[in-house]
Amino acid sequence: MFCKREVSEETASKDPENIYPCSVCNKKFRAKGTLNKHYSRSHLDIPKTHVCDVCNRAFHEGASLMRHYTTHTKIKNYVCEVCNKAFNRISHLRLHALTHSNEKTYICELCNKAYSGPNALKMHYRTHKNEKPFVCEHCNKSFSQRVHLRTHSVTHTKEKAYGCDKCNKVFSHKTSLTKHYLTHHTDEKNYVCNGCNKAFSCKSYLDRHCLTHTNIKTHVCEICGKSFSRKSHLISHYQFIHTNEKPYVCEVCKKAFASNSNLKSHMRVHTKEKSYACELCNKVFAFQNNLKKHYRSHTDEKPYSCELCNKKFCTKPNMYKHAQTHSNEKPYICDICSQKFSYKYTLTKHVRDFHSNEKLECVKSIECLKIVDVE
């Protein structure tokens, strides 16, 4: 039997600015009810008795469980009046609505930077304090966002409850299993693009593809205002630009990544998996970008043009290599004899032919790095 989870008047004495501070951690809240929830979740050892019968996730309160259920039903009753995007929670709609407004009424007291929403301001504050309030109970690693902690926690539990009945591959999330099945175990492509008649196995893939026909970018970063056509791109942008956290850890070599997609790509180094097959010659590739580049060998598509002579190329690196022939630039330098080369492979050949018995450490100039990282 548990008593009512109320914070005492001693614990929650309202200050003159209408703020309720927590007496344990000094975190501040605008409403006493919010403080009560924080206190019970963070400072009391109360079991989570409300369990989701779909994914077994547990919650302190029935209301939290009911909100969580909407993630399984995919019912989205809250629709944005501006772009018709739908959400399963009104709080998510309100946050989204801020992306359509140029008003930035939430101002940082430390640097006067302005934001359109309270969550963006809260995340920004953590850059001043280096605050990471979400701590892993297994290894004490801390994170600035709860979602990063949840992602990290899977590396300890290794929980993969969803198994494919075709190939016995297992997944941590039901959505991952569904996408895997539609991608690898069915030839059905019932979702057709009205613009180019390309067909897809998942509606989400079609929706994502349709954005390539428009310049609509509905996912806006609340911190810097940059917009993206895909939510995954916005998430990746935030993780790479606005945080240094890398919650996705390779189980084989322990290398950490900022996004799940980067981890998945890295895993192919270990599994040697090549799941992208060319429909014309059946050659397989580990990465989708490599398949796209290969496909151009069949179509003779050359989307990259030299600005000086209009010569066309299949890949951007090849175009940049060609551009060096106009500038006579030689960014690859032999660290043994200082001879310069336009291309990396000619430097490698030079070392093999003339310095094969000497120790080599190729020194790349700044210009070289620009060429390598350009794509």
Q: How confident is the model at residue 157 (pLDDT cuts 50, 70, 90)?
A: low
Contact assessment for residue 332 and residue 346, using Cβ atoms and an 8 Å cutoff? yes
**Burial of residue 84, with CB atoms counted within 10 A of its CB: 0-12 exposed, 13-18 middle, 19 or more buried:** exposed
What would the DSSP string read from start to end of 151-186?
A: HHHHHHH----EE-TTT--EESSHHHHHHHHHHHS-
Q: How far apart are CA 60 and CA 45, in angstroms?
A: 11
Residue 252's contacts (CB-CB under 8 Å, 6 or more residues apart) are: 267, 270
Contact assessment for residue 374 and residue 316, using Cβ atoms and an 8 Å cutoff? yes
pLDDT tens-digit readout, 188-236: 777 788 878 888 777 777 777 777 777 667 778 877 778 887 777 787 7
Tokens of 338: 């200082």
Q: Residue 1: its pLDDT value, please?
A: 36
Contact assessment for residue 239 and residue 256, using Cβ atoms and an 8 Å cutoff? no
pLDDT tens-digit readout, 249-296: 888 888 888 777 778 778 878 877 777 788 778 888 877 778 888 877
Tokens of 143: 């994170």
Supply angle C-alpha 258, 262, 267, rounded to 5.
Answer: 125
Place of tokens 């210009």: 367
CA 329 to the chain's CA centroid: 37
Q: How far apart are CA 182 and CA 18, in angstroms?
A: 53
Q: How confident is the model at residue 15 (pLDDT cuts 50, 70, 90)?
A: very low
Q: Look at strands 276-277 and 134-135 and give their pairing.
A: unpaired
Q: How far apart are CA 222 and CA 206, in angstroms?
A: 26
Buried b (16+ CB within 10 A) or exposed e, 26-63: eeebeeeeebbbbbbeeeeeeeeebeeeeeeeebbbee
Q: How confident is the model at residue 6 (pLDDT cuts 50, 70, 90)?
A: very low
- Integer angstrom CA distances of residue 271 from 249, 264, 267, 350: 16, 10, 6, 34
Q: Residue 173: its pLDDT value, please?
A: 65
| pTM over 0.75, yes/no | no
Contact assessment for residue 56 and residue 68, using Cβ atoms and an 8 Å cutoff? no
Asked whether the predicted pLDDT for residue 353 surpasses 70, the reply is yes
**What sign for the dihedral angle of Cα 98, 101, 103, 109?**
positive
Q: How far apart are CA 181 and CA 175, in angstroms?
A: 10
> Lowest-confidence range among 40-54, 65-79, 350-364?
350-364
Q: How far apart are CA 221 and CA 115, in angstroms?
A: 10
Higher-pLDDT residue of 13 and 186 is 186
Asked whether the predicted pLDDT for residue 120 surpasses 60, the reply is yes
Residue 371's contacts (CB-CB under 8 Å, 6 or more residues apart) are: 317, 320, 321, 324, 331
